[in-house]
Chains A and B, each alone.
Chain A
Amino acid sequence: MARYVARRILQMLPVIIGTTFLIFLMVWALPGDPFAGRCGQRPCSDAYIQAETARLHLDQSLPVQYGYFLGNMLQGDFGTVSNGDTVLHQLGRAFPITLKLTTVAIGFEIVLGIGIGIIAALRRGRFFDRLTLLTSLVAISFPVFVIGFVLQYIFGVRLGLFRVTVQSGAPWQDLIMPGFVLASLSLAFVLRLTRASLLETLNADHVRTAVAKGLPRSLVIRRHIVRNSLIPVVTYIGADVGVLLGGAIVTEGIFNIQGVGGLLYHATKLRENATVVSVATVVVLIVLFVNLLIDLFYAVLDPRIRYE
């Protein structure tokens, strides 16, 4: 197991380097003048363009620019943004907020998605099952911003039950509604996936044996059915973490959350390569790490799985 984990961690390194270089390349290749619109309505002065070009090494070739960036990054300097802030400071501010939002969203997915999925599977064909299938279909077909705006208006502006926007620093209770909106699509998928997986397991031989042996129904469900059905669900949730971390930009815009999504959007617009690549690096790291944890979790769920 330890060798497996070590091997996986070593494999992360080329993945990180490869993805960050690809993203660096893509932002670098974006058309458009990086100084356009930076100086108000008039073109930037020669002095400004020269200073910025020197600072960002824009006059060098791509591999050289990437080399500078990598070199700086290894020394802990992730670059400076046009408004004087350091990229590291911006990351340090935006990432915890997005992590909190992602945690709330994943929490909803796990509790509501798996919970309701289990209940729906156990009561297949009955009213509850049909109801959840219908609402999950609605959640899948509505775009996330529609759900976001509608919930914000009804529960925030009209009924005043939730804060309309999230305060700076993103306290946990402010993130309930945005987290739910963000989770809505994935929640529906998790629900259906759990339900389908459970239904399949319900007919398995080992379940019939357990019931025949005389085990109480709740024990059968908990120990034999749910654990075996969770593998596809857990895989999906693991992949979802990466998606949510990448920046739920629409939801962040609706609820004014100063997270990674908005950061990425503005950085791309202003062609701030340093910010985009730094954010991408951290996201890739987290995604790889979470997926490693998920893979290890399989061994817990299914004792037949062994790693070496």
Chain B
Amino acid sequence: MKQRKLIVASALFAAGALALTACGGGSDSESGSDSSSSAAVTIYNVKPENPLIPSNTVEVGGGNVIENLFRGLVRYDPDTAAPINAMAESIESTDNKNWTIKLKAGQTFQDGTPVTADSFVKAWSWGAYGPNAQKANYFFAPIEGYDVMNPADPDGEDGPKKAPTPPTKELSGLKVVSPTEFTVKLTTPQSFFPVEVGYSAFYPLPESFYADTEAFGKKPIGNGPFQMISGDGDTGFTLQKWDGYKGEDKPKISKATFKTYTSDAAGYADLLAGNLDFMDQVPPSALVGNQYEKDLPGRTINKAVGIIQTASLPQYDDNFKNNPDIGKALSLAIDRPTITKAVFNGGRTPATGWVSPIVDGYKAGACGEFCTYDPAKAKEYLAKSKFKGPFSFSYNADGPGNKEVAEAICNSVKNALGVKCDAKSYVDFSTFLKDRSGHKMTSMFRTGWQMDYPSIQNFLEPLYATGASSNDGVYSNPEFDKLIKQANGEEGEAGLATYQKAEALLANDMAVIPLWYQAQQSGYSERLANVKVTPTSTLDLIDLTVK
């Protein structure tokens, strides 16, 4: 009697389980995107940290979406990273300081309103206005009138006095000449200005933005090839091709969904199962032994992107101040080829300079002999240096692979120089950045740079100019500053040559040691064809097709 009950119970349970798996299996076969060619292309994304306003988006989660919703004055060619006129008809200057920008006629936003000079001028002023607290605010710094709109706090961050309200809400350097023309006056000459304005902070905004910025941040109205039809940061955004787009880069697909994932492991599992179409960077676990190439045969892209990793030495610390020998010794002691092979399995390329190979003006070997592995020479330089160690390498432990890198670097230094070297971990990026920006480092520390726009200037000036915003090591070389300023005013090849001269100076001082360039390992599903990765490390949605 009892036995029969047990058999019945387990049979019922098994039947129930089977029924449920059938449900699970059923929904699996239809999956997140159905298999017809008009279905959306699903792209891996992370949750945006900010509202989707161009001047407030400085991270990947939001950036991936808005770069398809908007078109700025220029866009970057997905293959060469060269700037191509998008909304602009021409961007011209005779002195690299006063620019005349003419817009193409007849361009509109997705709500029907025209794209005019005001769309740009008002948007840039709004972004530059200090109290609006836009995160990409500093991109407008070169424009005249910026300082007035961002008065400094009179007694610093911690003081009770607040910075005064700026007297004006408009950048004095911007003037509208006609609905399709406006002029820009910069504070110093910048020959790379036509490249810089392609950055997302410079996108135009429709008039409807100013009426309700909060609603706009949830569902932006752009002027780009795609419009947002639904979604939110937590689950993802669905974009549809906008038929009213008049630019020449019209997409071939009709729908794209940027699906938000909480972890890259889940995204990779979905990619393998066919529920996700594109993942810009496969998780480190899939890189081991090039596993991702075996999992996705013929469906991977390993492309260099504009990212470089470096190790900085604190120039405010007595041990490292005015001590180029110590930087050279350490640089010669780091075995880049072995480390990139062992830790990254080829996902990184040993750096030979401070500039990424994908930008114009890149010249291999700026670092010279100092970026090769030579323990004997390293010891020579160490002997010359006034500080002989021990060393440490500070890093943030929440980045994948950071711990292995730090330990590998320290081991290399230990073996080559015979001195102690400790990998010093900070629990997360926020804690690390606090000490790094607060100039509390005592030895080597991890730094890196991802380019904002494809220009050699972007790899040099924001990092190594005196007082630059990302110059965490407080490196200062007046000669370098002079060359940079000169190069900013020069055109074409002459400008590039001057930038290269400035880069060469970095090798003499060796305050920042170049480590490696980064490549991105992307994977995609069987549905996609013509898959290209843009210079901003995203999926190019224009040439993409669905099989």
CA distance A266 to B214 in the complex (A): 22
A258 to chain B: closest residue by CB: B234
**Which residues of A, 30-57, contact B by the 8 Å Cβ criterion?**
30-34, 36-54
CA A270 – CA B49 in complex, angstroms?
9
B428 touches which of A32, A40, A161 (Cβ 8 Å) = A32
Q: Which of B101-109, B264-272, B476-484 contacts A (4 or more CB under 8 A)?
A: B264-272
Q: Is the CB of A84 within 8 A of B428?
A: no
Whether A98 sits at the interface, judged by CB under 8 Å, is no
Q: What residue in chain B is nearest A153 (Cβ atoms)? A: B269
Report B404-431 CB contacts with A as 1/0, cut-off 8 Å. 0000000000000000000000011111
How far is A152 from B49 in the complex, measured between Cα atoms in Å?
Answer: 29
The distance in angstroms between the C-alpha atoms of A167 and B136, with both chains bound, is: 33
Q: Which of B58, B160, B262, B437 contacts A40 (CB 8 A)?
A: B58
The answer to whether A165 and B235 touch across the interface, beta carbons within 8 angstroms, is no
Does the CB pair B24–A163 fall under 8 Å? yes
Closest to B201 in A: A40
Q: How far is the CA of A34 from the CA of B150 in the complex (A)?
A: 21
Q: Are B24 and A84 in contact (CB under 8 A)?
A: no
Contact A32/B133 with A42-B469, A46-B150, A253-B266 known, Cβ cut-off 8 Å: no
Query: B135 to A44, Cβ gap below 8 A?
Result: yes
Using A50-B162, A161-B25, A163-B24 as known contacts, say yes or no to A84 and B150 having CB atoms under 8 A apart. Answer: no
A83 touches B428 (CB 8 A): no
Q: Which of A40, A54, A152 has a CB less than 8 Å from the CB of B59?
A: A40
Whether the pair A176, B269 counts as a contact (CB closer than 8 A) is no
Q: In whole Å, how far is B149's beta carbon from the nearest beta carbon of chain A?
A: 9
Asked whether A96 is an interface residue with its Cβ less than 8 Å from the other chain, the reply is no
Chain B, 101-146, CB within 8 A of any chain A CB: 130-138
Within 262-308 of B, Cβ neighbours of A (below 8 Å) are at 262-263, 265-267, 269-270, 272-273, 275
A78 interface residue (CB < 8 Å to B): no
In the complex, residue of chain A having the shortest beta-carbon distance to the beta carbon of B150: A47
Is B434 among interface residues, defined by CB-CB distance under 8 A?
Answer: yes
Contact residues, B329-377 vs A (CB, 8 A)? none
Given A84-B51, A252-B262: A40 in contact with B21 (beta carbons within 8 A): no
Residues of A with C-beta under 8 A to B240: none
Roughly how many angstroms separate A104 CA and B478 CA in the complex, as a whole number? 65
Q: Decide if A84 touches B470 in the complex (CB within 8 Å).
A: no
B131 adjacent to A42 (CB under 8 Å) = no
* Contact indicator B5/A218 (Cβ below 8 Å): yes
Give chain B residues whose Cβ lies under 8 Å from the Cβ of A160.
25, 28-29, 273
Quick one: given A42-B469, A52-B133, A254-B263, are A164 and B273 in contact (CB under 8 Å)?
yes
CB-CB under 8 A from B21, the residues of chain A are 161-162, 176
Determine if B244 is an interface residue (Cβ-Cβ < 8 Å): no
The interface residues of chain A lying within 8 Å CB-to-CB of B25 are 160-162
Enumerate chain B residues within 8 angstroms of A111, measured Cβ to Cβ: 13
Judge whether A174 and B269 touch: CB under 8 Å.
Answer: no
Q: Which residue of the partner chain B has the closest CB to A31?
A: B431
In the complex, are the beta carbons of B50 and A82 less than 8 A apart? Answer: yes
Is B32's beta carbon under 8 Å from chain A?
yes
Question: Among residues 268 to 287 in chain A, which have CB atoms less than 8 Å away from a CB atom of chain B?
Answer: 269-271
Residues on the B chain within 8 Å of A32, using CB: 427-428, 430-434
Closest Cβ–Cβ distance, residue A181 to chain B (whole Å): 13
Known contacts A32-B431, A43-B469; is-contact A162 B24 (Cβ 8 Å): yes
**Which B residues are CB-close (under 8 A) to A47?**
130-133, 137, 150, 163
Please encode chain B, from 140 to 168, with 1 for each CB lying within 8 Å of some chain A CB and 0 for all others.
00000000001011000110101100000
For B1, give the chain A residue with the smallest CB separation. A218
Smallest beta-carbon distance B48→chain A, Å: 6
Tell me if A156 counts as interface (CB < 8 A to partner B). yes
In the complex, chain A residues 282-298 whose Cβ is within 8 Å of any chain B Cβ: none
Within the complex, what minimum Cβ distance (angstroms) separates A206 from chain B?
A: 20
Q: How far is the CA of A49 from the CA of B434 in the complex (A)?
A: 14
Q: Does A256 contact B (CB under 8 A)?
A: yes
- Residue B501 at the chain A interface, CB threshold 8 Å: no
Question: Given the complex of chains A and B, what is the CA–CA distance between A162 and B218 in angstroms?
Answer: 33
Q: Is B233 an interface residue (CB 8 A)?
A: yes
Q: Mark A165-197, 1 if CB is under 8 A from B, else 0.
A: 101110101101100000000000000000000
Q: Is the CB of A83 within 8 A of B131?
A: no
A168 to chain B, nearest CB (A): 4
Complex: how many Å from CA A217 to CA B133? Answer: 74
Please determine whether A157 and B133 come into contact, CB atoms closer than 8 angstroms.
no
Given contacts A164-B269, A256-B270, contact A174 B27 (CB under 8 A): yes
B261 at the interface (CB under 8 A from A): yes
With a cutoff of 8 Å between Cβ atoms, the chain A residues found around residue B173 in the complex are none
**Contact of B437 with A33 in the complex, beta carbons under 8 Å:** yes
Contact A85 B233 (CB under 8 A): yes
Asked if A149 is an interface residue, CB under 8 A from chain B, the answer is: yes
For B13, B130, B234, B450, which residue has the most chain A Cβ atoms within 10 angstroms?
B234
Per the bound structure, the CA–CA distance linking A153 and B162 in Å amounts to 55
Chain A residue with Cβ nearest B462: A42
Which residues from chain B contact A168 at a C-beta distance below 8 Å?
Answer: 234-236
| Chain B positions 5-64 with a Cβ under 8 Å from a chain A Cβ | 5-6, 13, 20-21, 23-25, 27-29, 31-32, 47-51, 58-59
The reply to whether the CB of A95 lies closer than 8 angstroms to some CB of chain B is no
Min CB–CB distance A162 → chain B (angstroms): 4
Return A170 CB to nearest CB of chain B, in Å: 10
Within 8 A of B (CB), among A119-177: 119, 149, 152-153, 156-157, 160-165, 167-169, 171, 173-174, 176-177
> Using Cβ atoms and an 8 Å threshold, which residues of chain B touch A41?
58, 449-450, 452, 470
Residues of B within 8 A of A49 (CB): 157
- In residues 78-119 of chain A, which contact B (Cβ within 8 Å)? 82-85, 90, 93-94, 111, 119
Cα distance A41–B235 in the bound complex, in angstroms: 26
Question: CA of A281 to CA of B431 in the docked complex: distance in angstroms?
Answer: 26
Q: B2: which of A38, A42, A217 is its contact (CB, 8 Å)? A: A217
A33 near B433 (CB under 8 angstroms)?
Answer: yes
Cβ-defined partner of A253 (8 Å) among B1, B47, B133, B265: B265
Bound Cα distance A173, B27 (Å): 9
Assuming the contacts A156-B273, A217-B2, A270-B49, asked whether A45 and B137 have C-beta atoms less than 8 A apart, the reply is yes
Report B-chain residues with C-beta under 8 Å of the C-beta of A40.
58-59, 135-136
CB <8 Å contact, A157 and B150:
no
Identify 10 residue pairs between A and B in the complex whose beta-carbon atoms are under 8 Å apart, listed by A's number: A32-B430, A33-B430, A45-B130, A50-B153, A83-B49, A164-B272, A165-B261, A165-B275, A176-B21, A218-B1
On A, residues with C-beta under 8 Å from B are 30-34, 36-54, 59, 82-85, 90, 93-94, 111, 119, 149, 152-153, 156-157, 160-165, 167-169, 171, 173-174, 176-177, 217-218, 252-258, 262, 266, 269-271
Taking A37-B430, A163-B24, A164-B275 as known contacts, 8 extra A-B pairs with beta carbons closer than 8 A to each other, sorted by chain A number, are A50-B133, A54-B162, A83-B49, A156-B269, A168-B236, A169-B235, A253-B263, A271-B430
